[in-house]
């Protein structure tokens, strides 16, 4: 009986040891300390993520809200001074369909409002383009802020990202004007620039993160797209307006502001690729396949021809 009792006691002790193993100290202290450490680390990461989201939101909000103010509230007032003030009490608008006003107003001589819009397909397309550009801008800023907070920013590519802010904003404003005025002479031409600019910006954003390696095809794609832009614009308005001096001050500033980012998108990526090759003790031709270079040349030639036709 005594041996049986001892065997049972040993069995209980062995079972307890298996369920609650000793780790060199009091088990409960170690367990509680481990759980508190886990909770602390989790909470710290949650707070960090929350702060990053808040910072991203306000940075994105500030930039998106500020751009139209700088464009219209500052630059347009400087470039086009002397515009007379509107008499809000006597102002009438007979082209307002008043659909969005519902029962409160009917078409006719509508009084002054800060914003008029007619309910048409053109207005809906303006809304679609505006939402798309705002979402893309916010997501881009969110990505960049995350890269900066992780201290993995590749500064050369960040410069390219900043340089492309104006071209993207200009594209949105152009589509707004196309639809608002039913003027589509340059619509297809501009759409080619917009699509290729977005592709180039996606690649630039990817390379803004140092954790993403420098790859030849990404660099060559950025260079090819912007070389095509330079070829199209260089044989188009830029030469006529800037080089030959036939453009107004506004047109010259606009053309230079659109050309300068394209030049940066050619020079900086090639410089980055050259430095990358030098750091790895390789020649540029060792990093780039002949097929890649050939495709780039074909893309530039075909894209330039296509852009001139549109």
pLDDT digits (tens, 9 = 90+) for 90-124: 888 889 998 988 988 888 888 888 998 999 999 99
pLDDT, position 32: 61
Contact indicator for 127, 135 with CB cutoff of 8 Å: no
Domain boundaries defined on the chain: 23-84, 85-119, 120-310
Per the prediction, the chain carries an average pLDDT of 85
- Single out the residue of 53, 48, 112 nearest to residue 85, CA to CA: 112
Torsion region of 301: left, alpha or beta (phi above 0 gives left; psi -120 to 50 gives alpha):
alpha
Buried b (16+ CB within 10 A) or exposed e, 236-264: ebbeebbeeeebeeeebebbeebbebbeb
Rounded to whole angstroms, how far apart are CA atoms 281 and 174? 46
Rounded to whole angstroms, how far apart are CA atoms 200 and 265? 9
Kindly report the pTM of this predicted structure. Answer: 0.81
- Single out the residue of 233, 231, 261 nearest to residue 166, CA to CA: 261
Say yes or no to pLDDT of 223 above 80: yes
State both tokens at 113.
């409002």
Say yes or no to pLDDT of 42 above 60: no
pLDDT, position 19: 47
Calculate mean pLDDT across residues 256-282: 93
């Amino acid at each position: 009986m005594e041996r049986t009792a001892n065997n049972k006691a040993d069995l209980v002790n062995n079972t307890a040891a298996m369920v609650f193993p000793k780790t060199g100290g009091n088990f409960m202290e170690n367990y509680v300390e481990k759980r508190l450490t886990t909770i602390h680390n989790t909470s710290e990461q949650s707070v960090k993520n929350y702060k990053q989201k808040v910072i991203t939101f306000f940075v994105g909000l500030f930039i998106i809200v500020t751009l139209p103010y700088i464009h219209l509230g500052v630059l347009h007032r400087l470039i086009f001074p002397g515009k007379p003030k509107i008499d809000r009490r006597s102002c009438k608008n007979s082209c307002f369909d008043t659909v969005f006003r519902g029962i409160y107003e009917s078409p006719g001589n509508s009084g002054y409002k800060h914003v008029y819009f007619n309910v048409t397909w053109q207005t809906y397309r303006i809304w679609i383009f505006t939402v798309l550009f705002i979402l893309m801008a916010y997501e881009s800023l969110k990505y960049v802020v995350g890269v900066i907070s992780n201290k993995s920013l590749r500064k050369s590519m960040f410069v390219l990202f900043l340089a492309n802010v104006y071209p993207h904003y200009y594209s949105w404003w152009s589509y707004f004007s196309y639809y608002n005025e039913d003027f589509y002479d340059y619509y297809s031409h501009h759409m080619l620039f917009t699509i290729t600019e977005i592709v180039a910006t996606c690649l630039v954003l990817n390379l803004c993160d140092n954790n993403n390696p420098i790859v030849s095809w990404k660099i060559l794609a950025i260079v090819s797209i912007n070389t095509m832009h330079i070829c199209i614009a260089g044989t188009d308005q830029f030469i006529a307006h800037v080089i030959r001096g036939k453009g107004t001050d506004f047109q010259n500033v606009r053309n230079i502001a659109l050309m300068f980012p394209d030049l940066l998108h050619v020079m900086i990526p090639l410089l980055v690729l050259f430095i990358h090759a030098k750091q790895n003790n390789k020649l540029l031709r060792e990093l780039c396949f002949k097929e890649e270079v050939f495709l780039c040349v074909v893309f530039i030639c075909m894209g330039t021809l296509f852009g001139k036709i549109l």
